[in-house]
C-alpha cells in the first residue's frame, strides 16, 4: 500500500511558462482576463509573468502592466520569474510578494538560458535571494532539465540534489524539479526524488513536468507516491521552453485535477472553472487545448 498525500497544491504556471514560447504577442488585456478567470477557480498560486530580459522573452515584456491590471485575490499568490537583481527590482516596484528563481544542473542549458555557468547562476540567485529576504518575499527555485537536457542528454540526479540542497540552504522556500523536455519516466522520477530527498525534505519539493513524451501524469503519480504534494501545471497544457527545442507544453492543469479528484486527493480547485479559463485562452490563442480532459468533457457535453 502506498501512502498518497491527501491534499495537493497546484501551481498554475500557464501565464508565465505557458505563454513565454508563444510566437504571436498575446494582448495584455487577454492575459489579464485569463489570470482573473484563473483567480476564481480556487487555485492558490498563479505564476503570472517574468521580469527577464525582454530581448530574450518579448512575450512577457508587459509583466508590469499585467501585474497592475489583474484583480488580486487575498488568498492567491502571484509569483513572477526572476533572473537577476535587475529583474527583482522591477518586480519589487510592481509590488510583487512572491518570486521564482531558476537554475539547472546542465552547464549547456545554463549557458543557453541565462548566458552564464551553473556556478554563476547560483551566485546570481544568492544575490536575488539576499535582497528578496530583506523584503520578506516568498521564494521558489526551479531546477530545469532534471531528467534530461536537450544539449547534454542524461543529467545525474546527484548534481540536481547538490543544487537543490544549496538553494534550500540559501533560503528558498520550495524547489521545483523541472523535466523541461518531458523525457522522464516514472522510475527515473522516483530515483531523482529519492536522491534529492536525502538532503532536502520532501515537503520542500514541487514537480514540474512537460508532456512531450506523454509521461507527465505517470511521473506525477510516481512523485505523489513518494510524498511530493506540490505540482506545477498549465491550463490547456500550454507551454514550451524557447531554449529547449521540441519541448512541448506543460502537463495540463485539467488533466492533473481529474487524476487527483479520481484518487480522492483534495486540491480546493474547481475543474469546471479551470475548463472555462482553459477554453478562454485556447480560443484567444487559436489553439486546440492539449488537455485530454478538456477535449473529452467538451465533446461529452456536445453529445449530451
Ligand atoms: P544577457 O543578455 O545575457 O546579459 O542577460 P546582460 O545581463 O548583460 O543584459 C543584456 C541586456 O538585458 C541589458 O540591456 C540589460 O540591462 C538587460 P541593454 O544594455 O542591452 O539595453 N537586462 C534586463 N532587462 C530587463 N529585465 C531584466 C534584465 N536583465 C538584464 N531582468 C539574462 C542575462 C539572464 C537577464 C537573460 O539571459 C535572460 O533574461 N534570460 C532568461 C530567459 C528566460 O526567461 N528563459 C526561460 C526560463 S524558463 C526555464 O528556465 C525553465 C522553467 O520553466 C522550468 C522548466 O520548464 O523546467 C523554469
Ligand atoms: Mg516548464
CA 9/CA 79 separation, integer angstroms:
14
Find cell 520578506 and name the residue: 136
Domain range holding 233? 9-303
Give the H or E element holding residue 177.
Answer: strand 174-179
In the predicted model, is pLDDT for residue 301 greater than 90?
no
Sequence-separated contacts (24+) of 271-276 with Cβ below 8 Å: 273/37, 273/40, 273/41, 273/42, 274/38, 274/41, 274/43, 274/235, 276/37
Given the CA of residue 60, which atom of ligand 1 is nearest to it?
44
Tell me which of 14, 52, 151, 238 to substitute to probe ligand 1's pocket, judged by most ligand atoms within 8 Å of the beta carbon.
52
Would you say the CB of residue 55 lies under 6 angstroms from ligand 1? Answer: yes
Cβ within 8 Å of residue 303, ≥6 positions away:
none
Q: Which three cell numbers stand for residue 66?
A: 499585467
Cβ–ligand 1 contact at 51 (below 6 Å): yes
What's the confidence (pLDDT) of residue 1? Answer: 47
Cα(209) to centroid of ligand 2, in Å? 7
Where do we find the cell 521580469? 51
Task: Cite the DSSP H helix spans in the chain.
Answer: 28-39, 63-69, 85-93, 107-114, 118-134, 157-170, 186-196, 216-225, 253-262, 271-285, 292-303
Those residues with Cβ within 8 angstroms of residue 85's Cβ, 6 or more apart along the chain or in another chain: 124, 127, 128, 131
Domain count, the chain: 1
Residue 2 lies in a domain: no
Q: Is residue 56 part of a domain?
A: yes
pLDDT in tens, 267-292: 999 999 999 999 999 999 998 899 99
Point out the catalytic residue in the list 145, 149, 172, 241. 241
Q: Is 134 exposed, middle or buried (0-12, 13-18, 19+ CB in 10 A)?
A: exposed
The CA-based angle 131-233-252, given to 5 degrees, is 160
Task: Please compute the mean of the pLDDT values over residues 195-205 and round it to a whole number.
Answer: 98
pLDDT > 70: percent of the chain: 96
**Per-residue model confidence (pLDDT) at position 27:** 98
Which residue's CA lies nearest to atom 29 of ligand 1? 53
Ligand 1 mutation target, pool 53, 120, 124, 181, most atoms within 8 A of CB: 53
Phi, psi of 287 (to 5 degrees): -110, 150
Q: Are 67 and 80 a contacting pair, CB within 8 Å? A: yes
Verify whether ligand 1 is closer than 6 Å to residue 34 (CB atom).
no
Q: Could you tell me the CA-to-CA distances from 97 to 11, 132, 154, 208, 250 in Å, in that order?
A: 16, 9, 35, 22, 24
Which region among 116-125, 170-179, 201-210, 244-253 has the lowest average model confidence (pLDDT)? 244-253
The number of CA neighbours under 13 Å toward the Cβ of 178 is 29
What CATH number is given to the structural domain containing 247?
A: 3.20.20.70
CA 299 to chain centre: 28
Q: What is the pLDDT of residues 19-50, one digit of tens each?
A: 998 989 999 999 999 999 999 999 999 999 99
pLDDT band at 303; cut points 50, 70, 90:
low
Long-range contact set of residues 94-97: C-beta below 8 Å, sequence gap at least 24 = 94/51, 94/63, 94/64, 94/67, 94/68, 95/67, 96/67, 96/137, 97/137, 97/138
Provide the pLDDT confidence category of residue 209 given band limits of 50, 70 and 90. Answer: very high
Q: Is residue 1 domain-resident?
A: no
| Whether residue 240 has pLDDT greater than 80 | no
Which of the 8 DSSP states describes residue 135? T
What percentage of the chain has pLDDT greater than the value 90? Answer: 91
In a domain, 127, yes or no: yes
Query: What long-range pairs does 287-290 form, CB within 8 A, spacing at least 24?
Result: 287/236, 287/238, 289/236, 289/237, 289/252, 289/254, 290/211, 290/236, 290/237, 290/238, 290/248, 290/249, 290/252
Evaluate whether residue 261 is within a structural domain.
yes
Residue 174 lies in a domain: yes
Domain presence at residue 188: yes
Residue 33 belongs to some domain of the structure: yes
CB 242 within 8 A of CB 17: no
Active site residue 172: no
**Ligand 1 atom at minimal distance to the Cα of residue 124:** 34
Give the separation between CA 40 and CA 142, rounded to whole angstroms: 26
47 Cβ below 6 A of ligand 1: no
50 CA: nearest ligand 1 atom? 44
Average pLDDT, the chain: 95
In short, whether 208's Cβ falls inside 6 Å of ligand 1 is: yes
> For 149-199, what is each residue's pLDDT tens digit?
999 999 999 999 999 999 999 999 999 999 999 999 999 999 999 999 999
Quick check: CB of 18 below 6 Å from ligand 1? no
What's the pLDDT score for residue 299?
77
Assess whether the C-beta atom of 79 lies below 6 angstroms from ligand 1: no
- pLDDT tens, position by position, 96-128: 999 999 999 999 999 999 999 999 999 999 999
Residue 99 contacts residue 79 (beta carbons within 8 Å):
yes
Amino acid at each position: 500500500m502506498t501512502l498518497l498525500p491527501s491534499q495537493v497544491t497546484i501551481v498554475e504556471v500557464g501565464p508565465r511558462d505557458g505563454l513565454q514560447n508563444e510566437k504571436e504577442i498575446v494582448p495584455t488585456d487577454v492575459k489579464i482576463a485569463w489570470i482573473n478567470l484563473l483567480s476564481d477557480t480556487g487555485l492558490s498560486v498563479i505564476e503570472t509573468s517574468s521580469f527577464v530580459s525582454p530581448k530574450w522573452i518579448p512575450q512577457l515584456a508587459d509583466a508590469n502592466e499585467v501585474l497592475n491590471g489583474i484583480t488580486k485575490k487575498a488568498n492567491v499568490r502571484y509569483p513572477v520569474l526572476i533572473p537577476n537583481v535587475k529583474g527583482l527590482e522591477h518586480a519589487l516596484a510592481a509590488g510583487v510578494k512572491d518570486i521564482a528563481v531558476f537554475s539547472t544542473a546542465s552547464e549547456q542549458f545554463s549557458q543557453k538560458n541565462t548566458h552564464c555557468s551553473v556556478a554563476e547562476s547560483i551566485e546570481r540567485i544568492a544575490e536575488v535571494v539576499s535582497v528578496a529576504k530583506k523584503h520578506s518575499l516568498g521564494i521558489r527555485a526551479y531546477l530545469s532539465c532534471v531528467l534530461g537536457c536537450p544539449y547534454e542528454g542524461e543529467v545525474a540526479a546527484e548534481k540536481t540534489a547538490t543544487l537543490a540542497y544549496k538553494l534550500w540552504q540559501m533560503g528558498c522556500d520550495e524547489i521545483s524539479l523541472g523535466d523541461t523536455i518531458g523525457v522522464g519516466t516514472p522510475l527515473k522520477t522516483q530515483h531523482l526524488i529519492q536522491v534529492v530527498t536525502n538532503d532536502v525534505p520532501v515537503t520542500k519539493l514541487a514537480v514540474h513536468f512537460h508532456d512531450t513524451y506523454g509521461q507527465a501524469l505517470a511521473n506525477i503519480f510516481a512523485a505523489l507516491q513518494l510524498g511530493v504534494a506540490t505540482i506545477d501545471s498549465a491550463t490547456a497544457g500550454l507551454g514550451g521552453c524557447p531554449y529547449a527545442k521540441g519541448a512541448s507544453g506543460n502537463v495540463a492543469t485539467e488533466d492533473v485535477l481529474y487524476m487527483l479528484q479520481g484518487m480522492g486527493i483534495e486540491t480546493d480547485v474547481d475543474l469546471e472553472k479551470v475548463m472555462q479559463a482553459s477554453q478562454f485562452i485556447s480560443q484567444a490563442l487559436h489553439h486546440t487545448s492539449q488537455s485530454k480532459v478538456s477535449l473529452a468533457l467538451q465533446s461529452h457535453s456536445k453529445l449530451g
